[in-house]
Structure 1
Amino acid sequence: MRIDHAFRVGLIGTLGVGVGLLILYSVASLSTILTYVGAALFLALGLEPAIAWLERRGLPRWSAILVVLAVVAAVATALLLAVIPIVVDQVSQLVEQAPAVIARFSTTEWLDQLQQQFPQLRVREIYENLSNAVLDIVSNPIRVSELAGGIWQVAIAIGGGVFGVVVVTILTLYFTASLNPMKRGLFQLVPATQRARFADLTDQITDSVGHYVIGQVSLAAINGVLSFVFLSVIGAPFPAVLAFIAFMFSLVPLVGTLTGSVLIVLVCLLPGLGSPLTAFVAAIYYLLYMQVEAYVLSPRIMNRAVKVPAAVVVIAALAGGTLLGILGALIAIPVAAAALLIIKQVVIPRQNER
């Protein structure tokens, strides 16, 4: 190889690597914005089935969009006005009861009661380890300052979360209004011979994602309402707060209901707030509810979404949560469903033709 050719190849290769690194750096820098865009598009697709249903009833698209957005805003406002005062009141009660709970923890009588309830656990040893860890943090001024810094970071994260909600809401409005033009523009990028097939596949994916979003929100709402009723009946502490936790965790598919249920049971087990009996009854209820949700509610509510094997659901939720947090866990299942749909209708038929 001539020297000038070697230099040219090396230069082009270096420039290619540099451009690749620049693209990766840009994607990493824009990760927050890309997350907002993905969340807004996800929500816009979730509203699309309701808009399409109204369009089939004769309403113009702009009227259907206004009706759906008005209904969503009214429902969200009503829920906030109904739930927030109760949650604030119960959180205030929790703050007022905090000294009594701490005083209860300062004695060892509850340790003996807990040891009798769970003889297999080394309750006193666990308590001593936790107490030593807390005392170590309090007695170390450096760690106290780190804790204060962590609180400041939490405050910044809350402010960023509020800003993110506003941005996602605005983007959702834009995407909802311009979803069809966006799809038509995307179709123009595909060769004419493949355009009809691509459009059909895209419509299937978007419809599946829309029905998935509606179904998951419906399942979360059912869990939240039933949790509030049941926890109020058994006398669990702060049923409105715990029901809100159940609703939020249930938005995450499969693992969310389990995680929220475990957290609620642990709260019911806290001395001064609940009791082992209350926690046991709550655990039995959530075990039964998860069976009903898995075998009765979910198949009927999700019957129009793309079916995804349970193993793929778990893997997708864990991978999405690791990459993008809660949002990643939410959108991981539709992404996996879209990938399976493409494999079934594009990849496998092409392999069978060979």
Structure 2
Amino acid sequence: MDLPSASASTLARRWQWLIIAVIAGWLIWLLAPVLTPFVLAALLGWLGDPWVDRLERRGRSRTTAVVLVFTLMVLLLSLALIILVPMIERQIMELVESLPTYRDWFVQTAIPWVEQRTGLELVSWLDPQRIMEWIRGHWQQAGGVAATFFGHLSRSGFAVMAWVANIVLLPILTFYFLRDWDKLVERIAALVPRDHIGTVGRLARESNDVLGAFLRGQFLVMLALGAIYAAGLSIVGLKLGLLIGIIAGLISFVPYLGTAIGIVLGVVAALVQSGGDWTLVALVMAVFVVGQMLEGYVLTPRIVGDRIGLHPVAVIFAIMAGGQLFGFLGMLLALPVAAVANVMLRYAHEQYTRSPLYAGDRPAILLDSYIDNGAIGETPPQDRDGK
């Protein structure tokens, strides 16, 4: 085959893959509400598959291993709900009862403090008469928004029923994904073009490692940090310590973001609760400092290790972009897609550094020899001798 025809064939294949990707994205966008329980069940099946494989290697049948892992997952979830839901409910009731105290603190303490240091007039915006005038001026617009909102709610009965059906389907789908996960992987691998099976297999393994390091490792770190923050804040006497600790732990998948939000919420709660006593504030800060030290020196090295995770900026962008494009389904798909994209970018960088576009016309072996000898830019030995 001559060069022009080979280039045309390669270009045609690339256009075919691009068209397939566009059609797949369009179908995902159309079927997002239907695909949501399937994607969530697939993620749960992927998370539980290593445990099933481990039990199989110990002599259990696939069905028995799946039943044991599935039962363990259901028990852990049920236990978490039984323990946490009443505690969180009490914390929320505590917060609701304390709202007048928080309002008075913001109006009488926080806002005047900010006004003194910035020169802004913020209290006037909180005047009830001014708020009522603003509401009257925007009443028609607010009424139109409210009518649209409640009209949407009246038409969304079917959507609520669909969500209930999805919740019922989720455990069923998870069980089947756990049972047939290895078969699904084999069938997908069988569809890969044979001349690319090596590269695709390598990229798939790397993507699995990246996603596994983030989801499995960071999930355990999130749970541990949530427990540490909640227990520590409760021990030092913060009334909303459990709620703030859980929030900080759940957001800690982005490094430092969970700690920053937890410190802000904890400091405000401590100031309101103590009436300005900085002792409780110092204890709250100490809890988060200890939590960060445990995460950096104990939790992350032992649980996540040196496996490659996702950059926090990539995580935030992926979740926001996925939610904007595909809703809740996009948020579920965001991290797997980001993991694959991260691996693909590394592969593209690797191919670029091996290409003539990066190396130029100089022989790669000669360049490597100079680098190894620490003599970049020096004259080759044969040129020094005049040979």
TM-score, structure 1 length as denominator? 0.71
Structure 2 match to 1:240 = 242
Q: Which residue of 1 aligns with 2:55?
A: 54
Residue from 337, 343, 353 that aligns with 2:339? 337
Shift of 1:169: 4.0
Report how many aligned residue pairs link the two structures. Answer: 328
Correspondence for 1:68:
69
Closer/same/farther in 2, CA of residues 23 and 227 from structure 1, 3 Å limit: closer
Residue in 1 that maps onto 2:39: 38
1:315 aligned residue: 314
Alpha-carbon distance in 2 for matches of 1:224, 1:302:
17
Deviation at 1:202, TM superposition (A): 2.6
Deviates more, 1:264-273 or 1:218-227: 264-273
CA distance in 1, matches of 2:268, 2:171: 33
- Residue in structure 2 matched with residue 86 of structure 1 by the alignment: 87
Question: Matches of 2:95 and 2:173 in 1, distance apart?
Answer: 37
Superimposed CA distance per residue, residues 84-143 of structure 1 (whole angstroms, 9 cap, x where no aligned partner): 122223333434x25xx42773x6x76554468768655983343345685456556443
Distance in 2 separating the partners of 1:353 and 1:343 = 15
User: Quick one: distance in 2 between partners of 1:102 and 1:306?
Assistant: 47
Cα distance in 2, alignment partners of residues 131 and 153 from structure 1: 33
- CA 189–351 in structure 1, closer or farther in 2 if over 3 Å, else same: farther
Q: Which one of 222, 227, 230 corresponds to residue 228 of structure 1?
A: 230
Distance 1:129 1:115, change over 3 A: closer
What is the DSSP-based 3-state SS (H/G/I as helix, E as strand, rest coil) of the residue aligned with 1:125? Answer: coil
Map of 2:100 onto structure 1: 102
1:55 partner amino acid: E
Q: Distance between the aligned counterparts of 1:153 and 1:294, measured in 2?
A: 47
SS of the residue aligned with 2:122?
Answer: helix
**How far 1:327 moved relative to its partner?**
7.0
C-alpha contact 2:217 2:303 (8 A) present in aligned 1: yes
Code of the aligned partner of 2:191: L
2:354 alignment partner, SS class: helix
Amino acid aligned to 1:318: F
| CA distances 1:261-282 after superposition (whole Å, capped 9, x unpaired) | 2563365157468756345543
Contact 1:266–1:279 under 8 Å retained in 2? yes
Unaligned runs of 5+ in 2: 1-19, 357-387
Tell me the secondary structure at the aligned position of residue 306 of structure 1: coil
Aligned positions of 1:1-354 closer than 5 A:
26-95=27-96, 97-98=97-98, 101-102=99-100, 105=103, 111-114=107-110, 121-122=117-118, 125-131=121-127, 135=132, 139=136, 141-142=139-140, 143=142, 146=145, 159=160, 164-195=166-197, 198-250=200-252, 252-254=253-255, 257-258=258-259, 260-261=261-262, 264-265=265-266, 268=269, 271=272, 277=278, 278-279=280-281, 281-287=283-289, 289-290=291-292, 292-294=294-296, 296-303=298-305, 305-308=307-310, 310=311, 313-324=312-323, 332-344=334-346, 348=350, 352=354
Query: How many Å separate the matches in 2 of 1:40 and 1:80?
Result: 19
Counterpart residue type for residue 73 of structure 1: V
Q: Deviations over 1:140-179 (max 9, x none)?
A: 6443774687589799699576655444444333322221
**1:228·1:243 contact (CA, 8 Å) conserved in 2?**
yes
Q: CA deviation at 1:340?
A: 3.6
Larger radius of gyration: 2
Task: Kindly indicate whether the alpha-carbon contact (under 8 Å) linking 2:115 and 2:122 is maintained by their aligned counterparts in 1.
Answer: no
Question: Retained in 1: the 8 A contact 2:320–2:331?
Answer: yes
In the alignment, the residues of structure 2 paired with residue 301 and residue 34 of structure 1 have an alpha-carbon distance, to the nearest angstrom, of: 31
Q: Give, as a single letter, the amino acid of the residue that structure 2 aligns with 1:215.
A: G
Amino acid at match of 1:226: I
Secondary structure in 1 aligned to 2:90?
Answer: helix
**Using a 3 Å threshold, how does the CA distance of structure 1 residues 46 and 273 change in structure 2: closer, same or farther?**
farther
Q: Matched residues in 2 for 1:276 and 1:129: separation? A: 28
**Distance between the aligned counterparts of 1:89 and 1:82, measured in 2?**
12
- Quote the offset at 1:342 in angstroms: 4.0
Deviation at 1:51, TM superposition (A): 2.1
